[in-house]
Amino acid sequence: MENIIEVRHLSKSFGSNEVLRDINFSVKKGEVVSIIGSSGSGKSTMLRCINLLEKPTGGEILYRGENILDPNHDIYSYRTKLGMVFQQFNLFNNHNVLSNCTVGQIKVLGRSKEEAEEIAMGYLKKVGMDRYINALPKQLSGGQKQRVAIARALSMEPDVMLFDEPTSALDPEMVGEVLEVMRDLADSGLTMLVVTHEMEFARDVSNRVIFMDKGVIAEEGTPEEIFNNPKEERTKAFLSRILN
Amino acid sequence: MSLDVTIDIIQKYWPMLLRGAGITLFISIIGTIVGALIGLAIGVIRTIPLPESGPKRTLLIIVDKILAAYIEFFRGTPMMVQSMFIFYGVAGVFGVQLNRLFAGVFIVSINTGAYMAEIVRGGILSIDPGQYEAAQAIGMNHYQTMMNVMLPQVIKNILPATGNEFVINIKDTSVLNVISVTELFFNTKSIASATFRFAEVYFVTCIIYFIMTYTVTKILRTIEKRLEGPKNYNIIGNQMQVERPEDIVRKKGDHWHDE
């Protein structure tokens, strides 16, 4: 299977503070990769580097073989290939649910309003938010907002979905509804890169798990390898802390 | 001060007062609108993310410095002095006689622009950066993000401050009398020196200014409330719409029992 995203020797510093060091990994088409690790280990920064919300300090990011850090590369069209779901939902407060999902399609992809609405309705149905199309974000609960945010990202029909701790800002009883949507997406064969604290999700849904610690990838493997048979001392320590 | 004289003055001079009030309103409306547009444009330009290197970075820094100088200069000098400087200064140096009304609108606009630029900047900063990032993440560039996501919210947020600028402009256009723009204060002065009834004339003018500012304040408050929108949302296909005929019949039956 071809690599959709390949990260080589990626590094990132904020001033003299080095948050990512020599990160190497790749994501194949249809794979679900979970990134776990304690807070401050650089998980989110790495994810944000991939769609250039943070500018990497060094290394290469290849998207279908093309280096997107090349200054001549069109980052705007590249970003449309990646769907991003944020911890804080980040819905557009001036748009209703439907228009949150269509504004990008119309303004960036140049789709017609009718086409965009049809596509958006399809994904809103998928996340169970089609009955709320005229609601404003402030009228929704956290779980509902996050499901709309997922539909918004899907409406752009991206190649890869990036999830940045999508359930961390939710009340416990709303985590389930969002994880359920994500499970469905994983089952449908979507390529996903998920930064998460939901160990159960990482174990059951992902094909591969990356464990990060202090800005480096400490261990990488299948969910069985990481959760049942971790090799590294740091991985063991982290898992025993989080699972007990 | 006598009531009879006041009524006399109103009866005799109302066309002149009304014309003055009209000019005052005209200058302050156009000035506020143009000023707000200047402010929004500056806000968009000054929030363009700086590239790490290259000629675009240098250009942006220069533009930013020029805009900062514009803002500081017009906020830091009196509008009355600016009026004299622009109207007579330009006439003196270039030998061009500006239209007085145009000069008035111009001065009020660029002044309001300087204040509005700061108000807009505050408005942009008040919106959580997550929405900006989300727009970037779906591939919008800076301009698209501003037009489709940020500015609609910014405009709503800065409406009270803009209304405030409008009210200030209605009052401050009176300084344009120094370049003989025939706004309300200028006309009042003429009437006062023709009648020598200062108390009555200025009393009437006070009332006219107050009516204008108060009306504007009320109108803007109504618009703000409109834009607020409802807090709750009824999902599509609510209970009433899925009600079956038998439910309706039963409900009617209940009512009948209650009565």
What is the DSSP track for A172-221?
HHHHHHHHHHHHHHHHTT-EEEEE-S-HHHHHHH-SEEEEEETTEEEEEE
Query: Is B112 inside any structural domain?
Result: yes
How much is the pLDDT for B13? 93
The DSSP bridge partners found for residue B251 are: none
Distance CA A211, CA A120 (A): 34
ipTM of the complex: 0.92
- pTM of this prediction exceeds 0.95: no
pLDDT of residue B91: 79
For residues A140 and B231, what is the distance between their CA atoms, to the nearest angstrom? 10
Q: Does A108 touch chain B (CB under 8 A)?
A: yes
Tell me, what CATH number does B124's domain have? Answer: 1.10.3720.10
Domain count, chain B: 1
Cβ-Cβ contacts under 8 Å, A79 against chain B = 136-139
Residue ranges making up the domain that contains B25:
3-228
Q: Is A104 on the interface with B (CB under 8 A)?
A: yes
According to DSSP, the residues that pair with A13 across neighbouring strands are A18
Q: By the CB < 8 Å criterion, does B220 face chain A?
A: no
CB contacts of A131 in chain B (<8 Å) are 235-237
CB-closest option in A53, A55, A131 to B137: A53
- Listed residue (B256, B136, B10, B113) closest to A53, CA to CA: B136
Alpha carbon distance A179, B215 (integer Å): 53
Q: For residue B75, give how far its alpha carbon lies from the nearest alpha carbon of chain A (Å).
A: 32
- Which ranges of chain A have pLDDT less than 70? 1
Mutate to test the interface with B, among A14, A52, A108, A155 (most CBs of B within 10 A): A108
**Residues present in chain B in total:** 259
pLDDT of the residue at B241: 45
Q: Evaluate whether residue B254 is within a structural domain.
A: no
B188 touches B205 (CB < 8 A): yes
Q: Which structure tokens are listed for B79? A: 């509008």
Crossing angle between the packed helical segments A113-126 and A97-107, to the nearest 10 degrees: 130
Quick check: B242 contacting A, CB < 8 Å? Answer: no
A:B CB pairs within 8 Å: 87
- Angle formed by the axes of helices B3-46 and B198-228, nearest 10°: 40
Tens of pLDDT along chain B (259 residues)? Answer: 788 889 999 999 999 999 999 999 999 999 999 999 999 999 999 999 988 878 889 999 999 999 999 999 999 999 999 999 989 988 788 888 889 999 999 999 999 999 999 999 999 999 999 999 999 999 999 999 999 999 999 999 999 999 999 999 999 999 999 999 999 999 999 999 999 999 999 999 999 999 999 999 999 989 888 887 666 666 665 444 444 555 555 555 554 444 3
Query: Which residue in the set B136, B138, B141 is minimally distant from A156, CB to CB?
Result: B138
| Chain B residues in contact with A134 (beta carbon < 8 A) | 233, 236
Q: How many CB atoms lie within 10 A of CB A3?
A: 16
Predicted local distance difference test score (pLDDT) of residue B225:
86
Distance from the B167 Cα atom to the nearest Cα atom in chain A, whole angstroms: 27
Nearest to A80 among B131, B133, B139 (CB): B139
Report if residue B222 sits inside a domain: yes
Instruction: Identify the closest residue of chain B to A52 by CA–CA distance.
Output: B137
Asked whether residue B182 is assigned to any structural domain, the reply reads yes
B242 in any annotated domain:
no
Is there a domain that residue B241 lies in?
A: no
In chain A, which residues have their Cβ closer than 8 Å to the Cβ of B140?
76, 104, 107-108
d(CA B238, CA B186): 61
Q: Torsion angle, CA of B37/B43/B45/B49, rounded to 10 degrees?
A: -160
Q: What is the pLDDT of residue B256?
A: 44
A164, A84 contact by CB (below 8 A): yes
Task: Report the run of H or E that residue A59 belongs to, with start and end.
Answer: strand A58-63
Q: Please check whether residue B11 lies inside any domain of the structure.
A: yes
Question: Token digits for A95?
Answer: 């748009």
Q: Is residue B245 part of a domain?
A: no
Alpha-carbon dihedral sign for residues B229, B234, B236, B238: negative
Q: How far apart are alpha carbons B155 and B247 in whole angstroms?
A: 47
Helices (H), chain B: 3-46, 55-76, 79-84, 90-94, 100-125, 129-137, 142-145, 151-172, 184-195, 198-228, 245-258
Please state the φ and ψ torsions of residue B206, each to the nearest 5 degrees: -55, -50
For residue B231, what pLDDT is reported? 66
Alpha helices (H) in chain A, listed in sequence order: 43-50, 75-80, 97-107, 113-126, 142-155, 172-187, 199-205, 223-228, 233-243
End-to-end CA distance of chain A: 37
